[in-house]
Amino acid sequence: MRVGFFGSGAFGLPTLQSLIEGHDIAFVVSQPDRPAGRRRQLRATPISELALENGCRLLRPERLGASEIDTIRSIEADAWVVIAYGLKLPPELLLDRFACNLHGSVLPRWRGAAPIQRCLMAGDEVAGVSVITLAEVMDAGQILGTVETPVDPLETAGELHDRLATFGPEAVGQVLSLHESGSLEAVDQDESFVTHAAKLSRAEATVDFNQPASRVRGWIHGLTPWPGCDVSIDSSTVRIKRVKDHGEEESSGQIGCLVTEDRIQCQSGCIEILEVQPAGGRPMSWQDYCRGRDIKPGVTLESV
């Protein structure tokens, strides 16, 4: 099958690689190179880099105007695949064309920009990906296929992102195969179960220990690696990166205080600190961080 691909973020890398190996790539459309890093040097998107490495025809338009639409539509393709492209495809681009989109949630739950992070922050026990048709309303297209997976309680949003990305090749590949055979069936989303995954902001980079331990754990992991959860311990700032919840534990400690050498009292239960990152330092275990520091039970952790 001859396939056109729209994508920018790393979430689409496994799927594009699979399409390159199993199909004829008509073109790849990605975002233009953008300044990145401290030196603000131009950097290609992950998808652009993979396309260039494999000799794919690469288009990097700043916008999808009339000229760009005409160019893309003139390129022969049997189907288009869209994954984390970053721009909404205009309706006129989709005329007489089969196109599907890979989204990082089990729709209709978590439509929007940050489905993987919101899934963890809400304490969901199941995550997944959905392949859908493109629609005027964001992520509201008909469902063509889904893959579900249990959430690992120790998994961060960054790790879940990478794991869900590996489900893309199978999910998209099956949809393309069914489309090619004429046996693909689309199912409408149940609007009564819709939840929205708003874009993350730095303003959310706080942690409220006055919540159940499981909710605190999900919040911290959902904000890792960005924007993170920073706390102040004895006037030092440290980012909590990974924890384990002990929701079944009963304790009479003050909320937000260490009740043991590595456990923080929550509204109900405790969370065990596993991994942290000091300001300007590298990630390390909580035990390594405490070595040489006078951190004892009773110390309060205050959100920064």
Tokens 């131009």, located at residue: 42
- In this prediction, residue 157 carries a pLDDT of 98
Residues 272-284: pLDDT tens digits?
999 999 999 999 9
Average pLDDT over residues 213-233: 96
CATH fold for the domain made of 2-197: Rossmann fold (3.40.50)
Strands (E), the chain: 2-7, 24-29, 34-36, 41-43, 58-59, 79-83, 99-103, 111-112, 126-133, 143-150, 196-197, 229-233, 236-246, 263-265, 270-278, 284-285, 302-303
Do residues 112 and 197 touch, judged by C-beta distance below 8 A? yes
Is the confidence at residue 84, as pLDDT, over 90? yes
- In this prediction, residue 215 carries a pLDDT of 96
What is the residue-averaged pLDDT of the chain?
A: 95
Report angle CA 53, 162, 160 to the nearest 5 degrees: 170
- Binned at pLDDT 50, 70 and 90, residue 249 comes out as confident
- Binned at pLDDT 50, 70 and 90, residue 303 comes out as confident
Q: Is 188 helix (H, G, I), strand (E, B) or coil?
A: coil
Is the confidence at residue 252, as pLDDT, over 80? no
- Both structure tokens of 269: 């239960």
The CATH 3.40.50.170 domain(s) of the chain lie at 2-197
Architecture of domain 202-303: Roll (3.10)
- Binned at pLDDT 50, 70 and 90, residue 265 comes out as very high
The percentage of residues in the chain with a pLDDT greater than 70, rounded to a whole number, is 100
Average pLDDT over residues 17-25: 98
Handedness of CA 251, 253, 259, 263 (dihedral sign): positive
3-state helix, strand, coil in the chain (%, to 5): 30, 30, 45
The CATH 3.10.25.10 domain(s) of the chain lie at 202-303
| Cα separation, 153 vs 125, whole angstroms | 8
